[in-house]
């Protein structure tokens, strides 16, 4: 005896079919089929990413620098290695900004003899702009002279260098953007290397666990215990200072962090039920590792990579400072910064521009990685 309704049951005879009415004869069943397309992982992330204004600004800033790194070197008539020894260490001169009193191509020359100021062979006509701080030292009257450095060097008024020039008279605008390009290439390639190595290594260690994991982690410990400075220095000394060896030197230790993180992720996910299910259905190890477990780590990996890019640029500049940077005459942010440091007190502008660019890249990649982390975070999936 059941209580289930049946039209033939005499107990329900009073409930005839006429008492019932179809509710949805013309309406569509909502759960029958999605009208909209399903939102994939990346699409979902992209949508959430687009909602964050700061991340978009960061992305735009990086894109602009990236764009300039590609086209910047071609925007002036000078090549990155065009030398002119009459144009050494010129200050920046940007015609559009000159009227606001900045980047006029002026420079203060200290400790100049007052009696030599009228000597037009040293100070060509119209080169002296201002004279300050007159004083007598050792019986000689000295002063600080502000000069239009372009005229002082006897250069025509229509010649200008937007970021100035370096010790070989090379255009710094071209070199800065070319340097940005080289630095970005070094950073991105080295990060790709370290992510790839770390990914495979960490996956294997994390997935198999046990003694394999044990051995592999000991190896990373050994590599990790060697200080970065030492490893990188020895590496470069051994293999020379080419682009490839710098990239490898940057990757040689950095993959360990990625490997550890991936291993951690594997430990977290490998015992989940869905992995068990996939295994039961016959998925092999490689498929389990790369198809089922690894995608969980995409967010952290991308976030990590984003932070690693500017820090690779940073390490490269450190290498350049100790004389192990990229091979001349090629330029890079690090090379420009360390060249700039040598003359920082005399020609600060040579440090200023690369420093600004590395800062923007640093801010940009950091904000971008924050944005991406939020966007990729699986716990936030589907929320708005």
Partner 1 sequence: MRKRPLLAVLLLLACIFVGCGSPAAPEPEPQKPAVYGTLYTYVGTVSTLNPFQSSESAGTTILDMCSLGLYEYFPNATRDGFSLEGQLAEGDPVPLNDEQTLWEIKIRKNAKWENGDPITVDDVIYSLQQVMDPVLLTRRASQVASEFITIKGAVEYYQQGNTNSVPWESVGIKKVDDYTLRIETTGFATVQDVKTQFSTKYTHLVHKPTWESCFSADRTTNSYGTPNGGFMSCGPFILKEWVEGSQFVFERNPDYVLADQISLEKAIFYQITDSNTALEMFLSGNLDYVSVGAAAIEQYEDDPRLITTLPESVTSICVNIGNSKNNNALGNQNFRKALFYATDRESIAKLVKGQPATWIVASAILSSVESGVPFRQLPEAQAYLPANNGFDPELARQYFQKALDELGLDKVTVTMIYSETSTNTKAVTEFLHKSWPEVLGPKFELKIEAVSSSMASSLRKGWKDNPDSYELAWGGWEVSLTDVANGFKVYTSWFNNKNEPYFNEYYDDLWQKANQSERGKTDNDYRLDLCFEMEQILIDEALTIPVYETPGRAMVSDRIELPLGGYKAGFGWGWMWAKVVE
Partner 2 sequence: MVITLFIIITIGFMVIRLMPGSMYADDADMTAAQMEILRAKYHLDKPIPVQYGIFLRDLVLKGDWGTSIKMYIGVPVFDVLKMKIPVSMYNNLFSLLISLPIGVLLGIIAAVRKNSIVDYTTSFMVVIFISVPSFIFATLLQYYAAFRSGWFPIIYEASATGFAKLHSLTLPIIALSLGPIARVTRYLRAELAETINSDFMLLARTKGLTEAQAILRHGIRNSLVPLANVVIPMFTHIMSGSMVIERIFSIPGMGGLMVSSINNTDYPLTLAVLIFYSVVSLVTVLVVDLAYGVIDPRIRIGGRHIE
**Tokens representing 213?**
């994991």
138 binds, among partner 2, partner 1, none (CB under 5 to 8 A by kind): partner 1
Site for partner 2 contains 144 (CB under 8 A): no
Q: In 3D, which of 2, 42, 16 has the Cα closest to residue 299?
A: 42
346 binds, among partner 1, partner 2, none (CB under 5 to 8 A by kind): partner 1
Tell me the closest approach of the beta carbon of residue 235 to partner 2, in angstroms: 9
Segment near partner 2 (CB under 8 A); pick from 29-37, 101-109, 133-141, 220-228: 220-228
The whole-angstrom separation of Cα 276 and Cα 270 is 8
CA distances from 300 to 306, 346, 373 (A): 10, 44, 7
- How many Å separate Cα 361 from the centre of its chain? 5
377 binds, among partner 1, partner 2, none (CB under 5 to 8 A by kind): partner 2
Tell me the closest approach of the beta carbon of residue 320 to partner 1, in angstroms: 8
Q: Which is nearer to partner 2, 130 or 268 (CB)?
A: 268
Q: Which is nearer to partner 2, 51 or 218 (CB)?
A: 218
Q: In 3D, which of 357, 330, 206 has the Cα closest to residue 268?
A: 206
Tell me the closest approach of the beta carbon of residue 190 to partner 1, in angstroms: 19
Yes or no: say if 195 and 258 are a contact pair by the CB < 8 Å rule: yes
Choice from 4, 28, 225, 281 touching partner 2 (CB under 8 A) = 225
Site for partner 2 contains 49 (CB under 8 A): no
Q: In 3D, which of 323, 311, 317, 319 has the Cα closest to residue 336?
A: 317
Residues 266-285 that bind partner 2 (CB under 8 A): 267-268
Site for partner 2 contains 317 (CB under 8 A): yes
The whole-angstrom separation of Cα 222 and Cα 124 is 64
Tell me the closest approach of the beta carbon of residue 304 to partner 1, in angstroms: 31
The whole-angstrom separation of Cα 209 and Cα 200 is 14
């Amino acid at each position: 005896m059941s209580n289930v309704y049946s039209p033939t049951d005499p107990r329900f005879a009073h409930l005839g079919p006429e008492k019932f009415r179809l509710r949805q004869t013309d309406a569509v069943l909502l759960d029958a089929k999605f009208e909209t397309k399903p939102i994939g992982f990346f699409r979902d992330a992209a949508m959430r990413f687009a909602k964050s204004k700061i991340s978009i600004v960061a992305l735009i800033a990086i894109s602009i620098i990236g764009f300039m790194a590609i086209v910047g070197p071609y925007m002036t008539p000078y090549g990155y290695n065009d030398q002119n020894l009459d144009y050494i260490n010129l200050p920046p001169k940007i015609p559009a900004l000159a009227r606001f009193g900045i980047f006029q191509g002026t420079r203060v020359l200290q400790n100049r003899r007052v009696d030599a100021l009228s000597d037009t062979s040293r100070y060509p006509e119209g080169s002296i702009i201002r004279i300050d701080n007159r004083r007598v030292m050792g019986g000689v009257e000295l002063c600080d002279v502000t000069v239009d450095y372009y005229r002082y060097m006897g250069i025509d008024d229509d010649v200008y260098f937007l970021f100035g020039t370096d010790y070989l008279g090379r255009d710094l605008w071209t070199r800065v953007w070319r340097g940005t390009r080289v630095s970005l290439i070094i950073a991105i390639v080295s990060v790709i290397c370290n992510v790839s190595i770390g990914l495979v290594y960490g996956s294997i260690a994390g997935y198999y666990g046990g003694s394999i994991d044990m051995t592999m982690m000991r190896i990373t410990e050994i590599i990790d215990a060697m200080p970065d400075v030492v490893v990188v220095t020895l590496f470069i000394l051994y293999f020379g200072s080419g682009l490839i060896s710098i990239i490898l030197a940057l990757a040689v230790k950095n993959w360990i962090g990625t490997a550890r993180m991936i291993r951690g992720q594997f430990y977290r996910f490998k015992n989940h039920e869905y992995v068990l299910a996939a295994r039961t259905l016959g998925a092999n190890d490689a498929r389990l590792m790369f198809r089922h477990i690894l995608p969980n780590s995409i967010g952290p990996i991308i976030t990590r990579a984003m932070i690693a890019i500017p820090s690779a640029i940073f390490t490269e500049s450190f290498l350049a400072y100790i004389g192990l940077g990229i091979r001349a005459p090629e330029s890079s942010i690090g090379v420009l910064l360390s060249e700039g440091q040598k003359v920082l007190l005399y020609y600060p502008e040579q440090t200023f521009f690369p420093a600004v660019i590395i800062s923007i890249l640093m801010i940009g990649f950091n904000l971008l990685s924050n944005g991406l982390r939020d966007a990729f975070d699986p716990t936030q999936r589907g929320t708005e």
